[in-house]
Amino acid sequence: MNLVERFKAGLARSKEGFLRHLDLLFSGGELNDDFYEALEEALILGDVGVEASLKLVEQLRLEVSRRKIRERNQAKEILMQEITAMLNGAEEPVKPDGEPLVILLIGVNGSGKTTTAAKLAYRYRREGNEVLLVAGDTFRAAAIEQLQIWAERAGVALIRQQPGSDPSAVFYDALNAARARQVDVVIGDTAGRLHTKVNLMEELKKINRVIGRVQPGAPHRVLLVIDATTGHNGIAQAARFNEAVPVTGLVLTKLDGTARGGIVVGMQDTLKVPVCYVGVGEKLEDLLPFEAADFARALLA
């Protein structure tokens, strides 16, 4: 399947609710005030968010008027273009010369960080990179064992220590090992932590500082992993994490489990942080690089 088809498959549950509502709205009829009000309500209920929904509907009104469009089905393509423009912005980080690219995954408990780390490692390995995973969640022995299993499935090496070890020390060892082995990409898992727990957020800051001391300029990418089924509760999480460690991108997991696919639009517009990947299943191949145009087409086509 191409990316549009993969996104469509991942949005299957959304098709039962939010997207079906949009399909009905655009199926026929005039572009009048009732239509715009109904569209605004549908977008908000689909987790696009109030501010983003208002922007999209207002821009659609302007473009419809400017192009003298009369039919609703003709307006759908314009909405696709507006959503694409709102979602554009994610770029792949440039690998530093002679040093590994360092990616740190953060987020709350149960968001899917560990499996995302393995899926991301798998993607980079398939592109021909030497990848090293770091078991930075030392609080749960099960997390270390889980990542070991995923690392073997993905065909990549793993740096781990005993449960209860200082996670900063694990990253210190991992980065030194990565440089000695001439690894291309280092991907670090971290313990899930509530964004309201000050001591755990301070620990995250320490991990970030240690990484920067071992390799100046790293981490090159800090990806906040958010469970898409949490809806806009994820925005509060993201704001607090961003205060502790500057977040460079979002990974929305379990997109296949939410009936409101508009959360992707709402997250990016509110947080002003690009969505880089979306998770649409449990397999190693089910982490997709986010493509705004493909996603918008899957959302509305």
162 inside domain? yes
299 inside domain? no
In terms of C-beta distances under 8 Å and separation of at least 24 residues, what long-range contacts does 53-62 make, across chains too? 55/86, 55/269, 56/82, 56/83, 56/86, 56/265, 60/36, 61/36
Q: Of the candidates 186, 253, 264, 188, which has an alpha carbon nearest to the alpha carbon of residue 225?
A: 253
117 and 34 housed in the same domain: no
60 and 115 housed in the same domain: no
Please identify, among 230, 247, 264, the residue that sits at the C-terminal boundary of a domain.
247
CATH number of the structural domain spanning residue 69? 1.20.120.140
Please identify, among 228, 247, 266, the residue that sits at the C-terminal boundary of a domain.
247
175 and 242 housed in the same domain: yes
157 inside domain? yes
201 inside domain? yes
- DSSP for 230-289, please give it: GTTHHHHHHHHHHHHS---EEEEE-GGG-S-TTHHHHHHHHH---EEEEE-SSSGGGEEE
Determine the pLDDT at residue 130. Answer: 97
Contacts with 276 (C-beta within 8 Å, 6 or more apart), sequence order:
90, 223, 249, 250, 251, 289, 290
124 and 240 housed in the same domain: yes
pTM, full prediction: 0.89
Whether 76 contacts 300, CB under 8 Å:
yes
82 and 115 housed in the same domain: no
57 and 127 housed in the same domain: no
Between CA 216 and CA 208 the distance in angstroms is 11
94 inside domain? no
231 and 172 housed in the same domain: yes
Helix then strand then coil, % of the chain, to nearest 5: 55, 15, 30
- Three-state secondary-structure class, residue 71: strand
Place of tokens 């501010």: 51
58 and 149 housed in the same domain: no
259 inside domain? no
**Domain total of the chain:** 2
255 inside domain? no
CATH number of the structural domain spanning residue 235? 3.40.50.300
Tens-digit pLDDT string for the chain (301 aa):
666 677 667 666 655 567 777 888 888 788 999 999 999 998 888 788 888 999 999 999 999 999 999 888 889 999 999 999 988 776 777 888 889 999 999 998 888 999 999 999 999 999 999 999 999 999 888 889 999 999 999 999 999 999 999 999 999 999 999 999 999 999 999 988 775 677 888 999 999 999 999 999 999 999 999 888 876 677 777 778 888 899 999 998 887 766 566 778 888 887 788 999 988 888 999 998 988 888 888 777 6
145 and 236 housed in the same domain: yes
168 and 218 housed in the same domain: yes
134 and 226 housed in the same domain: yes
Determine the pLDDT at residue 65. Answer: 95
Give residue 58's identity as a one-letter amino acid code.
Answer: E
221 inside domain? yes
- Look up the domain containing 17 and give its range: 3-87
46 and 108 housed in the same domain: no
Place of tokens 């997109």: 255
Whether 239 contacts 263, CB under 8 Å:
no
